[in-house]
Chain A
Amino acid sequence: MSTATAHDTHHEHHPGGLLRWVFTTNHKDIGTLYLIFSLVMLFIGGAMAMVIRAELYQPGLQFVDPQFFNSMTTMHALIMVFGAIMPAFVGLANWLIPMMIGAPDMALPRMNNWSFWILPFAGLMLVSTLFMEGGAPAGGWTMYPPLVLQTGDAFPFLIFSVHLLGISSIMGAINIIVTIVNMRAPGMTLMKMPLFVWTWLITAYLLIAVMPVLAGAVTMLLTDRFFGTSFFSAAGGGDPVMFQHIFWFFGHPEVYIMILPAFGVVSQIIPTFARKRLFGYSSMVYATASIAFLSFIVWAHHMFTVGMPLTGELFFMYATMLIAVPTGVKVFNWVSTMWKGAMTFETPMLFALGFVVMFTIGGFSGLMLAITPIDFQYHDTYFVVAHFHYVLVTGSLFSLFAAAYYWLPKWTGNMYDEKLGKLHFWLSTIFVNILFFPQHFLGLAGMPRRIPDYSVQFAEFNQISSLGGFAFGLTQLLFVYIIWKTVRGGAKATDRVWEGAEGLEWTLSSPPPYHSFETAPEVK
């Protein structure tokens, strides 16, 4: 269904029929396909979040049964992580990396086509599990055994779609690395690359390192279920906790896969609207690399309650706390870039500022969660839910909104409606805080996550959170309308678009030519 939407919205201004989109090897076409796919998935995953918030509006069971509720939390997470946030950043990479480094296209265009066209089928397979005997997967997106082995007919389809999504990500990552390493314009040394390109280069290495680990973990689940192995069954000599170690060895780098490109986006936008160079370019690059390195040695902080030895708990606590240092360097850099600049507050800047403030709030709760002796209280409560939604919604998703508004005039040649853009920002920011801030209180007061019903002491904050959730969900329809309106027409954008914009993509026409740079520009 997502692919059908992709075609429909693009008929009018890209004549050439459906097959053009199926066979395209152009980085801009593929970028557009990725972005539309992720937008469709954002709304499918968002609709599931609405079901969750509706059921949690008051104590008792009103709308769904607990099994379906668990399917909703599981599918919401899988769709948002693998269907919305990750493909959206790959879409941005496709559109922007060739234009930013002065290349005509991506290095491996046919693989680019393939890595996109796997996605709709993987997504469709995942969504189709909702209609299978036994229901959609309901064991959480983390797929912990033994619980996940109780999944009905959906089980092999879950595993296969995770495999497909992983294959797509790996191919996308290889393409990005090959493009960046081989296709930079003369004179563009590594330390002259825009930060968005840098963060994606590092992200792509993370993807190649960890997606195979996830594939291995879910394959072991598959053989445990169907082929009589006992990797994760204690009765057969295996270890259910081993799955958690393997999963989070993938899972922690995965959360940086979803946030490093966001850092890149924000590092492009803030200097533009502050009209001032990024304060510390090289320290930003080193901080990104440090975060990527640390992401490989902190995984067990997701599982402090499994009963690790004391020394293990101490190691993972210290390593996790260390992440605060490079992350702090980033935040301080953004603030110093704004300091004594000449700021204006167009929609991309508003979303970038919202990102810096609210991502930092998510960082604070992250630091609290790193402290093992109090993580025992926070673990698996709504405090954790609040934490990762602050970094993923007001972090990753807000940076994607910022990117969309920032580059949409370049992509389409039309300016978006600034008034509506600002309205979108303010409504989103107010409602997202009503949605997620009270969840900190719920978690501290003792509400576990992933429950469809709760004791009456949690009623008030759940109700506030649900109201914020419905309003935040509705607000996103405005985003679709703004994009649709911009694609259809509007004030013509200049090539530079923004007064303070720097970088090769702004030297191209708006919209840019089909093959970005046919002759490589010279970078001094």
Chain B
Amino acid sequence: MRDWQRKTYLASVTDRYVKGQMDRRSFLRAAGKLGLSVGALGAGFGLSGRRPFFNLAPSAFAEGSLEPSPEMMKWLADVGKPFAGTTLRLATESTPPSNAIANSLKPFFEKASGIKIEIEVLPLEQVLQKLTLDVASQLGTYDLYYIDQSWAANFSQDVFDPREQIKDKPDLAYPDYNIDDFLPPLVDGIAKYKDRWVGVPYDIPIFIMQYRKDIYDELGLKAPETMDELLTNSQKITEAKGPQLYGTTGQMKSGHYSLECDWTCWLWGHGGQIFDTDRKFVGNNDAGIKAIEYWDKLKKTMPPGVDGWTWDGEGQSVSQGVAASMLSWGEFFPFFDDPKSGKISGLMEAAVPPKAITLISPDKTGFGEIPGVGHQGGSSLAVSKYSKNPDAAWVFMQWATAADTQALITVLGGGTGPTRTSVYDDPRVKANARVGAGTTRHLPVVRETISKYMGSEPDLPEWAEISSDTIPVALGQYFAGQYDSPKAAMDDIKTKVEAVLKS
């Protein structure tokens, strides 16, 4: 039996066990036939019906091991006393950390500290709108800001630098907080604007290579290590399996931010850059044109609906067995492994992104752009300067981003990528590295991608408009055939970007 078949079988029996269609003895026997170790069996139990955390947590762990540590609870109880009864507010996008906190972990914080926390989960543009209103009015409606990496420049003066908070409030500092534990590339790419820390890295969706191992094995392919290999692999799969199965997929809905995310990946992968050191748009240079030409070829190996999909459609196209690979958000990987979500549980493998043909060094770019094939879309969490309860908010922020809490978030939040180095080695996170919902078996790849392949968009106040409208609308026009050539499209984007910068 091949490895992927064994994994599929394990996922299937685990699913039946979870649903109560199989008793414990039969499950153990079936798993034993697979030659799995006791540890792997434990992983299988991770999906059993005994869920101590509001029916969200896998219970591969001993009772109580998926709760905040006693040290953390004691610290919260001690430090939270003066703020008991205070209510904090946070407006956030629906991301795994926020969902895990809102759905599972919040009661622990509230019980221990006596501080109430209200979390508003909103679409990203509404979060931006709320934060903008808050900083304009300076009313302090929100105590904590969820800041997308593309807004770091906008809000850098409206939040506390966490390093200053640690220094200025030693009595409120969590002893094991260790701010140096945050992955340095994430600090640079997400949470830093000029010399200020705009909060701390909170979540990290990032592009990794995800592919169907069964299809790759069947066609004698290996995970692509270069851009050319990605293209040829995708072409071979499409030729052999199309139109039922396409080689790869994308998020190419015209006018949507997701299209810009894909563009940066191909642009940076071909030695291109968005801005030069003079802060001029240079996505229309030779490398930029080559990237579009490559993308044109790759698009022929994607399902026909790709022009109408954002990340949701892209992920669905893989999970429903329509596309065999995607160089995209690693957060999808646990979803693919979930037997309830699609047809490919246990069939996917993760790999680092293909190497860039050439890569521009960050010191040759403008606005803090960091070229890299592994496009990241992370966010940071910060305490608002207008908060009426900045100290209580700082207590919450330390708890929400501490290593102990982040390990719980990773396990409870469906295998999301941690932003701290130590959490990747946490035993609770490692124990979840098995096929099934909320797997963490892709996290070593995420970690390597962050450290070696990560790409970050530029930081400038106009970036929200440029990345969500100017570029994806023009690219949508290009793919709809409204430009004569890639050069014409990219030249037009340059004109439009510069008009936005001027205005």
A and B form one complex: no
